[in-house]
């Protein structure tokens, strides 16, 4: 075995060179490094050796870690129809080129001078996203859509000084878990039924549940189950009648073709940035946004940082800084608005690059292609005996519920057989939506070719 | 021929300045940055244009006002902005104390950007992500070693979210024991990250803040005074932002436990502790590490980051789900925890950072981890020794006993020159350095916080000290020079704070700026 400890300073740690260590100790005026830890009581000093594998050098590391991650089957190697909050999309090469730049990758919380470029890129992201959602204010990104929704709800609760929020039962179960956690213990989440046939929010149930305690109605477009909620205007009207705030969660890849929620009455818009040029990374690509109009009572309730433009002492220069910094918990600790910290700025920056590349035409074509491909998939799947390709009679965007109840097979069985054929079938809804029986949520985006959709259809047809 | 002399003691620096317009100003009608995938004719023949079926009122009628720019120009714009950003990869990044701006090994970026990582969907069947689950499980095991805790969740997306998760666990724990209503206070300290207080407040707790005693330790007598049957939890960092290790920490946790509270440990800054001391022995019930600090995953311009949340056996049922488990042959996801707080982030946290941190630990081994702690502390004590030689600088509280970072003060320099820590911050930009003051409120007057980590050589530290020394001397000889900085940064000073405070002016987006300008010109 090679002895790795002889004469080899660790490449990540320059001062492991013994002579340098000695010199530094001498300057400090101590004999051993151990003396520097004398503030830690003896009984708290760990005497054992951590049970962690031996050091690997870079070559070994590449082989070892490479071998481990190669056990994963990536969606590049199969045809995947998984969505449900994280989606496979086309990612322009420029997005990766920019978000892998060492300057951005290794930057953090520098000031507006040293990190001018980062501030400008974030300001531009805020500005580009504002155009897509047709709102004035967009924040530095949150952790994900779920937390953006939760934070939007908390903002509404503070604005209205009310402590109930109405949420559709057809919401993503993942998202709901996060929202409930962020709302507890102050805000009660009240679930509103959906129409069995169309999936649309049950307006009668909504009217029964809304009251003078309601801070906000939160709903999503497209919904978790893929259908477009068409009663946006009526929902926000009901909210207005009760002086409640309308919050709409959106998938921004739809906004080239779908009306931005502000046009049907949204006061706060939130959603997920991952579709805008960010890899899925097993969910690590998620990143949320919140947008509002430029009203003081809304702006002052954001917990997030908001980068603003300003002149410098030199004519012609754009400078940047934090708008209303004193809102934040950085400035006011427990008295700030909610809580801020390191969230997902890099994905905001990437979404900015993506929107700059796509432009208005690109966003329209993206939306249109997704709609065409998903409609084609619904149509072709619908031809398979026993399958209702879209469980809800409604217009969908990107995702739709495939009903397998009449096939006599479970989604689990079907997905297992599909996996053997190199296909990841849709998300099994039977656990989270037991009322639907054996249904699956299928996702078709601009990356799913006709050939791949046809392969899915023939593979399902041949499931035993 | 003559020798080119390079004898200047501080770096002759100038940051890139590209004078880039705001991206909307690059708009040229008709240009395209990229074309999304097109659709086959057969699909069009089958379903038509795809959008006519949208119900009235739901189809977008006005296209978004996004700019149209060619690909090369978009790329150039962002490359230029990247050059105007002083990432840790480019500088002696010791000025952002508490942020642990260590070297992020480039090899780990190759793993994180592999399609075997990036092209994984969070709902894939367990069988198809065995590699990822193996990495997660092993990192859990390493974290258990490092902390003494019994189980880790990697779902939190950062330290703040880990603190939020811990406050949620405290609440769920007391609710489960029927003491939820009675226990409504969480105790923290002023020299801790503001998120300790703010996340506990989000979970509905009243916050009690301990201040330091004359030596800089959290005041133990005050703790005895405030702890009661209303105490739900105690959250603290150790060392705190001062870099001073609280040697009485076991007494603190015992006092809180005796009163029935949960003790949770903010280990965001654990860089001086790896293999040295552990959360378990100090009596903590929970702790978290920031993978983007101690465990080297890059800070990514402000995330995605990752918080590794560890708990003792009694709190395991409260963790967010899923947890990764291993039966000796296969890795699986466990969603079935009796008292789970639900989720704090969707799915599995930030798995690419789990992978990076795992690779970092493998690249060090147990001995290497101890080297990290030892050299981080050596570097910090060397820096401490050197900084105290600078005229006008001091380090309040106990002498010595600093681990991985120090909160210093320019109190004397400010008194004598009028130059503040904020002025010095801007002037440091002229020499290619980051510099950070402190969280608010400023308990230490005119504060600055330096954390040299293990990643920088003695020469690197000397360079940083030389820059600070130069500026301190300048403050005494030519204070206006410091006050009007920066000069060699990308931009000059922003002086009109009104742009950030006044609703008539603040411009968080380009459209707000244009509209407010227009409104103003109408008024004139």
Residue B243 has pLDDT above 90, yes or no: yes
Q: Measure A210 CA to nearest chain B CA, in Å.
A: 24
Q: A39 and chain B: CB distance < 8 Å anywhere?
A: yes
Q: Shortest CA distance to A457 belongs to which of A394, A355, A383?
A: A383
Contact B88 A107 (CB under 8 A): yes
pLDDT in tens, B152-181: 999 999 999 999 999 999 999 999 999 999
pLDDT at residue A74, rounded to an integer: 98
Mind listing the pLDDT tens digit for each residue in A255-280? 999 999 999 999 999 999 999 999 99
Nearest to A398 by CA among A78, A85, A144: A85
Among all residues of chain B, which has the CA nearest to that of A454?
A: B43
Residues A81 and A445: their CA atoms lie apart, in Å, by 9
Is pLDDT of B520 > 70?
yes
Nearest CA in chain B to A67: B131
**Would you state the pLDDT for residue A1?**
44
pLDDT mean across residues, chain B: 97
Which of A221, A220, A211 lies closest to A188 in space, CA to CA?
A211
How far is Cα B4 from Cα B334, in angstroms, rounded to an integer? 65
Cβ neighbours of B439 in A, within 8 Å: 330
pLDDT at B113: 98
pLDDT at A104: 98
Tell me whether the omega of the peptide bond preceding residue B120 falls within 30 degrees of 0, making it cis.
Answer: no
For residues A11, A16, A18 and A20, what is the CA-based torsion angle, rounded to 10 degrees? Answer: 100
Asked if A163 has any chain B CB less than 8 Å from its own CB, the reply is no
Please indicate whether, in this complex, the C-beta atoms of A284 and B352 are within 8 angstroms of each other.
yes
**Choosing among B346, B348, B503, B504, which should be mutated to test the A contact, i.e. which has the most A CBs within 10 A?**
B346
Percent of chain B with pLDDT over 70: 100
Instruction: Quickly list H helices, A34-85.
Output: 58-69
Q: Out of A10, A46, A131, name the one closest to residue B278 (CB).
A: A46
Mind telling me how many Å the CA of A109 is from chain B's nearest CA?
7
Of A54, A90, A280, which is closest to B36 when you measure between CB atoms?
A90
Predicted local distance difference test score (pLDDT) of residue B185:
98
What ipTM does this complex have?
0.97
Contact yes or no for A156/A215 (Cβ under 8 A): yes
Question: Which residues from B are below 8 Å from A44, CB to CB?
Answer: 249-250, 277, 281-282
Confidence of residue B524 (pLDDT cuts 50, 70, 90): low
pLDDT score for B353: 98
Predicted pLDDT of residue A129: 98
42-101 of B, contacting A, C-beta below 8 A:
42-44, 46-51, 53-55, 57-61, 63-69, 71, 74-75, 77-90, 93, 96, 99, 101
Q: What is the mean pLDDT of residues B38-55?
A: 97
How high is the pLDDT of residue B7?
A: 84
DSSP-based three-state secondary structure for B432: coil
Query: Which residues of chain A have a pLDDT value below 50?
Result: 1-2
The two structure tokens encoding residue B363: 């690249």
Does A23 contact B105 at a Cβ distance shorter than 8 Å?
no
Nearest-CA distance A26 → chain B (Å): 10
pLDDT at A5: 52
Residue B521 pLDDT level (bands cut at 50, 70, 90):
confident
Query: pLDDT by residue (tens digit) across B338-382?
Result: 999 999 999 999 999 999 999 999 999 999 999 999 999 999 999
Contact A281 B117 (CB under 8 A): yes
SS3 B410: coil
The values of phi and psi at residue B247, to 5°, are -70, -15
pLDDT in tens, B428-458: 999 999 999 999 899 999 999 999 999 999 9
Q: Which domains does chain B have, with CATH numbers?
A: 130-362 (3.40.640.10), 366-483 (3.90.1150.10)
Domains in chain A, CATH or no CATH each:
14-69 (no CATH), 79-89+361-461 (3.90.1150.10), 93-355 (3.40.640.10)
Among A354, A300, A335, A276, which Cα is nearest to A86's? Answer: A276
Q: A137 - beta bridge partners?
A: A292
Nearest residue on chain B to A333, alpha-carbon basis: B194
């Amino acid at each position: 075995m090679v002895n790795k400890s002889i004469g080899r300073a660790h490449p990540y740690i320059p001062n492991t060179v013994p002579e340098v260590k000695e010199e530094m100790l001498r300057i400090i005026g101590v004999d051993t490094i151990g003396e520097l830890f004398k503030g830690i009581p003896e009984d708290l000093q760990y005497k054992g050796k951590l049970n962690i594998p031996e050091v690997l050098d870079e070559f070994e590391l590449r082989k070892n870690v490479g071998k481990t991650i190669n056990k994963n089957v990536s969606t590049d190697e199969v045809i995947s129809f998984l969505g449900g909050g994280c989606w496979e999309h086309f990612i322009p090469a420029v997005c990766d080129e920019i978000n892998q730049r060492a300057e951005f990758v290794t930057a953090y919380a520098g000031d507006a001078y040293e990190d001018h470029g980062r501030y400008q890129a974030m300001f531009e992201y805020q500005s580009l996203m504002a155009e897509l959602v047709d709102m004035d204010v967009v924040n530095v990104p949150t952790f994900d859509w779920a937390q953006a929704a939760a934070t939007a709800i908390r903002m509404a609760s503070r604005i209205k000084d009310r402590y109930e929020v109405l949420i559709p039962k057809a919401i993503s179960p993942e998202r709901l878990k996060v929202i409930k956690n962020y709302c507890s213990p102050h805000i009660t989440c009240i679930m509103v039924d959906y129409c069995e046939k169309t999936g649309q929010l049950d307006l009668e149930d909504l009217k029964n549940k809304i009251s003078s305690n309601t801070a906000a109605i939160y709903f999503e477009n497209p919904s978790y189950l893929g259908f477009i909620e068409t009663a946006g205007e009526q929902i926000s009207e009901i909210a207005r009648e009760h002086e409640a705030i309308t919050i709409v969660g959106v998938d921004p890849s739809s906004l080239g073709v779908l009306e931005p929620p502000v046009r049907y009455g949204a006061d706060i818009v939130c959603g997920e940035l991952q579709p805008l040029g960010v890899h899925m990374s097993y969910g690590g690509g998620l990143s949320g946004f919140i947008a509002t109009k430029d009203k003081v009572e809304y702006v002052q309730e954001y917990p997030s940082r908001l980068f603003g433009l300003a002149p410098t002492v030199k004519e012609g220069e754009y400078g940047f800084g934090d708008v209303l910094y004193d809102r934040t918990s950085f400035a006011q600790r427990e008295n700030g608005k909610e809580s801020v910290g390191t969230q997902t700025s890099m994905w905001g920056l990437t979404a900015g690059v993506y929107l700059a590349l796509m432009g208005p035409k690109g966003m329209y074509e993206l939306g249109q292609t997704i709609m065409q491909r998903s409609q084609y998939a619904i149509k072709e799947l619908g031809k398979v005996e026993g399958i209702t390709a879209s469980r809800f009679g409604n217009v969908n965007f990107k995702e739709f519920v495939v009903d397998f109840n009449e096939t006599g097979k479970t989604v689990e069985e079907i997905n297992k057989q599909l996996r053997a054929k190199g296909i990841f079938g849709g998300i099994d809804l039977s656990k989270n939506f037991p009322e639907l029986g054996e249904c699956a949520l299928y996702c078709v985006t601009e990356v799913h070719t006709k050939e791949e959709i046809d392969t899915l259809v023939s593979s399902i047809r041949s499931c035993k | 021929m003559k020798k080119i002399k390079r004898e200047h003691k501080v770096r002759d620096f100038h940051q890139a300045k590209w004078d880039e317009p705001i991206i909307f100003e690059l708009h040229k009608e008709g240009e395209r940055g990229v074309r999304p995938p097109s659709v086959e004719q057969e699909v069009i023949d089958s379903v038509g244009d795809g959008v006519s079926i949208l119900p009235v009122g739901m189809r977008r009628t006005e296209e978004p006002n996004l700019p149209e720019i060619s690909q090369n120009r978009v790329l150039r714009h962002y490359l230029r902005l990247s050059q105007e950003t002083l990432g840790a990869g480019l500088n002696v990044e010791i000025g952002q104390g508490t942020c642990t701006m260590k070297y992020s090994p480039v090899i780990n970026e190759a793993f994180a950007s592999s399609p075997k990582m990036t092209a994984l969907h969070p709902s894939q069947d367990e069988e198809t992500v065995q590699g990822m689950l193996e990495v997660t499980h092993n990192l859990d095991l390493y974290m258990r070693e490092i902390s003494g805790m019994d189980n880790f969740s990697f779902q939190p997306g950062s330290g703040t979210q880990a603190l939020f998760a811990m406050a949620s666990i405290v609440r769920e724990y007391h609710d489960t024991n029927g003491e939820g209503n009675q226990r409504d206070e969480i105790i923290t300290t002023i020299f801790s990250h503001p998120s300790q207080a703010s996340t506990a407040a989000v979970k509905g707790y009243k916050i009690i803040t301990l201040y330091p005693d004359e030596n800089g330790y959290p005041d133990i007598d005050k703790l005895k005074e405030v702890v009661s049957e209303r105490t739900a939890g105690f959250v603290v960092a150790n060392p705190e932002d001062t870099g001073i290790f609280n040697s009485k920490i076991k007494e603190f946790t015992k006092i809180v436990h005796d009163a029935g509270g949960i003790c949770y440990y903010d280990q965001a800054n654990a860089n001086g502790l790896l293999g040295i001391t552990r959360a378990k022995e100090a009596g903590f019930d929970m702790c978290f590490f920031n993978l983007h600090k101690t465990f080297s995953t890059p800070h990514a311009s402000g995330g995605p980051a990752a918080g590794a949340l560890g708990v003792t056996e009694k709190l395991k049922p409260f963790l967010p789900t899923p947890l990764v488990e291993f039966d000796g042959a296969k890795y699986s996801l466990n969603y079935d925890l009796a008292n789970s707080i639900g989720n704090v982030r969707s799915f599995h946290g930030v798995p690419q950072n789990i992978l990076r941190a795992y690779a970092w630990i493998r690249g060090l081994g147990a001995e290497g981890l101890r080297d990290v702690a030892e050299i981080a502390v050596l570097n910090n004590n060397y820096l401490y020794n050197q900084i105290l030689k600078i005229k006008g600088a001091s380090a309040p509280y106990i002498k010595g006993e600093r681990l991985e970072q120090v909160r210093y003060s320019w109190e004397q320099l400010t008194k004598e020159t009028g130059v503040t820590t904020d002025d010095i911050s801007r002037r440091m930009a002229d020499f290619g350095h980051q510099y950070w003051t402190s969280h608010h409120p400023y308990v230490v007057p005119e504060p600055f916080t330096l954390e040299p980590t293990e990643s920088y050589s003695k020469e690197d530290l000397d360079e940083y000290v030389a820059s600070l020394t130069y500026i301190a001397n300048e403050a005494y000889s030519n204070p206006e020079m410091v006050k009007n900085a920066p000069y060699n940064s990308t931009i000059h000073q922003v002086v009109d704070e009104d742009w950030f405070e006044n609703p008539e002016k603040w411009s968080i987006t380009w459209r707000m700026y244009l509209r407010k300008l227009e409104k103003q010109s109408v008024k004139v």
